[in-house]
């Protein structure tokens, strides 16, 4: 006699009527339901400090309420880095050199960075060196910091998993986010030196990737003892404004074998064996040329589709009707005023809402050039589709 499936979000999916409102709207997006109410959120902001100085918001402002965002519909498990490798312990942050108005600082990822003295945020820093130069520096500086058995990695595991199980019970998307392979390698070696090392030190690249895989696989396996994962999300940044930063052959050789094995392992360990594992790739730049590559290894979802790099979510949505899409709202148009915003919204939202599987957000953080009242106008227009 078959046992009844427990619909707790872990052993079986929570019925729609028992989900939180944010989870229900977000799952309609993941299921690509045509003409469903569009989930309301934003990519991020570079404009908040500017708006605070002008008196529109303050530290106590509830941005979600002010801008009409939906309640959270997902929960991120974390623990595996974002734009830097998940070192434990991190490097000591310290001043290396005083250069008058500037200072060279060793950051938590082992890079030497040139900053304005006394200011670490609000501008693009200059990275002078990265911690991995060769196999020797990899092993001495970094590899041991990526040991999955380091006890400190799990200090908050029980607390985090209690929250994850609570969110799963509301039907929320449980996301395992991981620093993507290219972003990880770039954080270790730097964007220029990395390109040479693909040719000159392939054994170093594979050693770094084997370590990435072992760490990710071990931590995710611990998470999967508690919950079923809905989404595997990588911060990849594999593209610039003309296409991928490395060739398709290099992507297939150095990145994909590790992704494929990790995804296979995650699926094999799922508590709910019937759950679809969504695979999201986050990349800046012109992404159209890598979509078929990543779809070949199971990608369901891509973001944030930067318009200045030539990404057009309407055309991509037509070409890949099963692809989940987030982003594609041109930050430059948000800065050009209400008429430009109306034209932008009217050209994208009716088409993409009818299609389904689309979440509109600024194609990167909302820039400081965007006037607060114009952004409020943008949010009012977005809520017409909520």
* CATH number reported for the structural domain that contains residue 38 in this entry: 3.20.20.210
Residues 219 and 355 in one domain: yes
- What is the C-alpha to C-alpha distance for residues 112 and 101, in angstroms, rounded to an integer? 16
Residues 184 and 331 in one domain: yes
Q: Is the pLDDT of residue 121 over 80?
A: no
Mean pLDDT of the chain: 96
Count of domains forming the chain: 2
pLDDT digits (tens, 9 = 90+) for 313-329: 999 999 999 999 999 99
pLDDT digits (tens, 9 = 90+) for 219-278: 999 999 999 999 999 999 999 999 999 999 999 999 999 999 999 999 999 999 999 999
pLDDT digits (tens, 9 = 90+) for 153-176: 999 999 999 999 999 999 999 999
Q: What's the burial of 53, exposed, middle or buried (CB within 10 Å: 0-12/13-18/19+)?
A: exposed
- What is the C-alpha to C-alpha distance for residues 146 and 85, in angstroms, rounded to an integer? 8
Q: Is the pLDDT of residue 352 over 60?
A: yes
Asked if residue 209 belongs to a domain, the reply is: yes
**Do 48 and 40 form a contact (C-beta atoms < 8 A)?**
no
Mean pLDDT, residues 140-157: 95
Query: In this structure, are strands 243-244 and 239-240 parallel, antiparallel, or unpaired?
Result: antiparallel
Q: Is the pLDDT of residue 1 over 60?
A: no
Mean pLDDT, residues 331-348: 98
- What is the C-alpha to C-alpha distance for residues 351 and 355, in angstroms, rounded to an integer? 6
Give the percent of the chain with pLDDT over 70. Answer: 99
Asked if residue 5 belongs to a domain, the reply is: no
**Do 228 and 275 form a contact (C-beta atoms < 8 A)?**
yes
**Do 200 and 248 form a contact (C-beta atoms < 8 A)?**
no
Residues 159 and 228 in one domain: yes
Residues 121 and 32 in one domain: no
Which of 108, 130, 152 finishes a domain? 130
pLDDT band of 101, cuts 50, 70, 90? confident
The domain in which residue 78 lies consists of: 16-88+132-383
pLDDT band of 75, cuts 50, 70, 90? very high
Q: Is the pLDDT of residue 137 over 60?
A: yes
Pull the structure tokens for residue 170. 């509301």
C-alpha distances (whole Å) from 106 to each of 96, 109, 111, 126, 279 are 6, 8, 5, 12, 34
pLDDT digits (tens, 9 = 90+) for 197-234: 999 999 999 999 999 999 999 999 999 999 999 999 99
pLDDT of residue 122: 64
pLDDT of residue 287: 96
């Amino acid at each position: 006699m078959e046992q009844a499936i427990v619909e707790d979000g872990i052993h079986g999916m929570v019925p729609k009527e028992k989900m939180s409102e944010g989870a229900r709207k977000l799952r309609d997006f993941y299921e690509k339901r045509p003409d469903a109410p569009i989930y309301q959120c934003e990519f991020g902001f570079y404009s908040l400090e500017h708006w605070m100085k002008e008196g529109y918001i303050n530290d106590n402002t509830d941005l979600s309420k002010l801008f009409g965002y939906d309640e959270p519909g997902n929960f991120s498990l974390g623990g595996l880095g974002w734009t830097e490798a998940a070192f434990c312990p991190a490097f000591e942050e310290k001043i290396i050199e005083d250069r008058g108005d500037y200072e060279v600082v060793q950051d938590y990822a082992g890079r030497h960075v040139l900053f304005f003295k006394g200011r670490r945020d609000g501008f693009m820093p200059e990275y002078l060196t990265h911690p991995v130069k060769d196999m020797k520096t990899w092993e001495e500086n970094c590899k041991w910091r990526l040991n999955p058995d380091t006890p400190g990695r799990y200090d908050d595991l029980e607390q985090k998993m209690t929250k994850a199980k609570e969110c799963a019970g509301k039907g929320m998307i449980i996301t395992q986010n991981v620093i993507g392979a290219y972003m990880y390698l770039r954080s270790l070696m730097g964007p220029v030196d990395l390109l040479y090392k693909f040719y000159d030190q392939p054994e170093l690249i594979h050693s770094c990737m084997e370590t990435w895989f072992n760490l990710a696989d071990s931590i995710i396996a611990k998470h999967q003892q508690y919950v079923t994962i809905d989404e595997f999300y990588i911060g990849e940044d594999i593209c610039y404004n003309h296409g991928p930063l490395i060739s398709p052959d290099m992507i297939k050789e150095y990145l994909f074998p590790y992704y494929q094995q990790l995804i296979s392992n995650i699926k094999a360990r799922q508590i709910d064996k019937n759950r679809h594992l969504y695979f999201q790739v986050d990349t800046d730049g012109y992404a159209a040329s890598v979509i078929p590559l990543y779809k070949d290894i199971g990608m369901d979802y891509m973001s944030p589709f930067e318009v200045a790099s030539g990404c057009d979510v309407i055309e991509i949505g037509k070409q890949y009707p099963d692809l989940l899409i987030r982003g594609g709202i041109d930050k430059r148009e948000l800065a050009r005023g209400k008429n430009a915003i109306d034209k932008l919204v009217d050209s994208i939202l009716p088409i993409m809402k009818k299609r389904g599987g689309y979440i509109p957000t600024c194609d990167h953080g909302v820039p400081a050039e965007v006037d607060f009242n114009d952004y409020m106008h943008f949010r009012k227009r977005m809520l017409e589709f909520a």
